[in-house]
């Protein structure tokens, strides 16, 4: 635990308050207890103010008043039960009855990730409501859920990327206690829990950080507002605030890892990088936790440095999202795909995505109007998270369309197989496993009329560039949010059960076949057979098992020659109900052959 960690923590019969405000002369603590009581805090050096306060078992709600400019909520608040403008409330983390003492987490390469939005995953939209659905996910083969951001944001509806209290668990989802219930229940079923967090900016409404100190930088900017001050004057306190945040989720919520949003918008020119500081603290913390803790990056840099160790100048992430895989695959599934991804469209690009990782690795990219990226050839497959769908891919379409609304079931099966047969850690988006066909829109619930208008106009302006004339839905309208809720019961109804069974079979195949457990790039090769078909070859580490995966994206019948060598067994066929010869695929489909016998699906 950092000895300069900010926030309010119960320690026995006392509450220890600590706040960073380096340019403040006097800091008062205002506690609500049969009326407000004011306490003057003591300067503690390095810009911090401390106060240890005797307090009984009753809840403690409080605010800070720096130089009589407040009062404001605690920047490191753990709970905002009245929303972003209300009192902060102390959370007694020691009282939660954890039952996951034997849980040690999973190796990253073993994960089957499942991204979900808490508010739209169930009718209730709470952590507690997710718990009864975990068993079905475990039965499917999902062993890790990734929650979209849950830090306190304005209102009750939001993707979470407008959060303004990074340490505070959103009140409408159930708050800190319910999140712990969810994590504890998931671990009991063998499911890891990851959380998406945002440290590249802070949302606009309810953002009080600037009232306490220089959290923000004028040297840089992000598409969503002011950049965080990671390398300017007074940045030591800012760096501690955000590096301690990463440990906080492991220590107090037993999370198995974090996904960090848009790290390319985190700017730091310091000699000792922010990522070195993070790993210094994680390395010191891990022996005490006894659990694995993984970091995933979202980055559009196309740089292997993201997943290289900090000791050699990298950022030290376990893995990063692989957008190039999605783009290369999607344009082959949907003939309209190039309208959104103008630099993709050939089968050779998908072959490169399978073999190397980054498709854009130094060449000219029309979308960016410059050269982009560098080679990731040789980087282990487990250093990438691949997907066919995520919140961005659906929510940043005017109609919120999922892949299931854009392509046929046959092509959805091809997409799922292409993902699960890849040498990358796969991730599904909630409902994708059965072909959920409700949209997933972008939604907010701000209270500031000017901000609401700015968000609406910003979305409309953004979609003018796509030229299809479709106007995005009003993100502030509650119906936009309600229409985005998945319909869980569909997974047990026809025709959705067909894709669900297919997904379950693919996950089982991935977890049981040694050739699909090899994440080294020398265990994969790709042959482009036509401009719409390829052969993906996977070989186990011991070279005893080989898989030949034929994938056809064409509507035409694709006929191929049997592979040379040992006797081959057809173990997977997406067209099992269609009468076709062994060595052909009638339209979009997948066939997988193994030199080891198995039951055909």
Q: Residues marked as binding? A: 259-264, 323-327, 391-396
Query: CB count, 10 Å around CB of 531?
Result: 12
| Pair type for strands 425-429 and 113-116 | parallel
Beta bridge partners, 320, equal: 297, 384
Residues with Cβ within 8 Å of 234's Cβ and at least 6 positions away in sequence, in order, are: 22, 23, 47, 213, 214
| Rounded Cα distance, 192 and 187, in Å | 6
Decide: 67 and 254 in contact? Cβ < 8 Å: no
Catalytic residue among 240, 261, 276, 436: 261
Which strand (E) or helix (H) includes residue 130?
helix 127-130
User: What three-state secondary structure class fits 145?
Assistant: strand
- Bind-site residues for substrate: 259-264, 323-327, 391-396
Joined tokens for residue 358? 């980054």
Beta bridge partners, 194, equal: 146, 257
Joined tokens for residue 74? 């605690």
Decide: 282 and 247 in contact? Cβ < 8 Å: yes
Is-catalytic flag, 218?
no
Residue in 85, 91, 136 with CA at minimum distance from that of residue 114: 136
Residue in 352, 404, 407, 356 with CA at minimum distance from that of residue 379: 356
Decide: 481 and 512 in contact? Cβ < 8 Å: no
The DSSP secondary structure of 340-398, one letter per residue, reads T-TT---HHHHHHHHHTS-S-SSSEETTTTEE-----TTS-GGGEEEES--HHHHHTST
Is-catalytic flag, 261?
yes
Q: Mark residue 357 as left, alpha or beta (left: phi above 0; alpha: psi -120 to 50; beta: remaining).
A: left
Residue in 10, 25, 78, 18 with CA at minimum distance from that of residue 48: 18
| Rounded Cα distance, 417 and 361, in Å | 25
Joined tokens for residue 374? 């560098």
C-alpha separations of 581 from 159, 578, 592 in Å: 47, 10, 14
Q: How many angstroms from the chain centroid is the CA of residue 60?
A: 33
| Rounded Cα distance, 24 and 355, in Å | 55
Catalytic residue among 211, 240, 244, 298: 298
| Rounded Cα distance, 593 and 132, in Å | 37
Catalytic residues: 261, 298
């Amino acid at each position: 635990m950092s000895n300069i960690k900010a926030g309010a923590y119960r320690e026995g019969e006392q509450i220890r308050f600590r706040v960073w405000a380096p340019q403040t002369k006097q800091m008062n603590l205002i506690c609500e207890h049969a009326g407000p009581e004011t306490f003057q805090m003591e300067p503690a050096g390095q810009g911090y103010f401390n106060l240890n306060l005797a307090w009984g078992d009753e809840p403690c709600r409080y605010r800070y008043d720096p130089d009589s400019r407040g009062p404001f909520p605690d920047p490191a608040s753990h709970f905002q039960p009245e929303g972003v403008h209300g009192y902060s409330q102390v959370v007694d983390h020691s009282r939660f009855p954890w039952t996951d003492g034997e849980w040690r987490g999973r190796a990253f390469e073993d994960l089957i990730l499942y991204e979900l939005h808490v508010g739209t995953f169930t009718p209730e939209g709470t952590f507690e409501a997710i718990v009864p659905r975990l068993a079905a996910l475990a039965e499917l083969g999902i062993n890790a859920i990734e929650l979209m951001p849950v830090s306190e944001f304005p209102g009750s509806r939001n993707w979470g990327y407008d959060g303004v209290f990074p340490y505070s668990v959103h009140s409408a989802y159930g708050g800190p206690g319910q999140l712990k219930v969810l994590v504890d229940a998931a671990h009991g079923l063998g499911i890891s829990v990851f959380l998406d967090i945002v440290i590249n900016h802070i949302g606009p409404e309810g953002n009080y950080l600037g009232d306490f100190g220089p959290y923000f930088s004028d040297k840089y900017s992000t598409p969503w507002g002011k950049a965080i001050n990671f390398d300017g004057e007074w940045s030591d306190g800012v760096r501690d605030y955000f590096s301690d945040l990463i440990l906080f989720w492991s220590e107090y919520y037993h999370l198995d890892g974090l996904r960090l949003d848009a790290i390319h918008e985190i700017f730091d020119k310091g000699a000792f990088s922010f990522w070195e500081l993070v790993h210094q603290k994680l390395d010191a913390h891990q022996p005490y936790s006894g659990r694995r803790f993984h970091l995933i990056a979202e980055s559009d840099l196309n740089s292997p440095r993201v997943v290289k160790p900090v000791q050699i100048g990298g950022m030290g992430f376990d893995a990063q999202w692989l957008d190039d895989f999605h783009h290369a695959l999607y344009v082959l599934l949907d003939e309209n795909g190039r309208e959104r991804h103008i630099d993709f469209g050939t089968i050779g690009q998908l072959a490169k995505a399978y073999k190397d990782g980054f498709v854009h690795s130094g060449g000219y990219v029309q979308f960016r109007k410059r050269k982009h990226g560098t080679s990731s050839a040789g980087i282990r497959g487990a250093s990438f998270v691949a997907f066919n769908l995520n919140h961005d891919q659906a929510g940043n379409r005017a109609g919120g369309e999922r892949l299931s609304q854009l392509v046929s079931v046959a092509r959805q099966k091809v997409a799922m197989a292409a993902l699960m047969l890849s040498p990358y850690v796969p991730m599904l988006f909630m409902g994708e496993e059965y072909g959920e066909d409700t949209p997933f829109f972008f939604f907010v619930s701000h209270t500031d009329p000017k901000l609401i208008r700015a968000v609406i106009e910003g979305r409309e302006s953004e979609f003018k560039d796509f030229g299809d004339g479709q106007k995005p839905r009003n993100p502030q309208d509650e119906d936009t949010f309600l229409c985005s809720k998945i319909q869980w019961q569909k997974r047990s109804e026809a025709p959705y059960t067909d894709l669900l069974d297919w997904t379950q079979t693919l996950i089982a195949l991935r977890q049981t076949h040694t050739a699909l457990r090899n994440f080294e790039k020398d265990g994969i090769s790709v042959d482009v057979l036509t401009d719409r078909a390829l052969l993906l070859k996977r070989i186990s580490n011991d070279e005893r098992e080989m898989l030949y995966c034929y994938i056809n994206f064409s509507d035409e019948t694709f006929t191929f020659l049997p592979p040379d060598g040992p006797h081959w067994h057809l173990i997977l066929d997406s067209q099992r109900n269609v009468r076709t010869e062994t060595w052909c695929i009638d339209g979009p489909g997948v066939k997988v052959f193994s030199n080891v016998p198995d039951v055909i699906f």
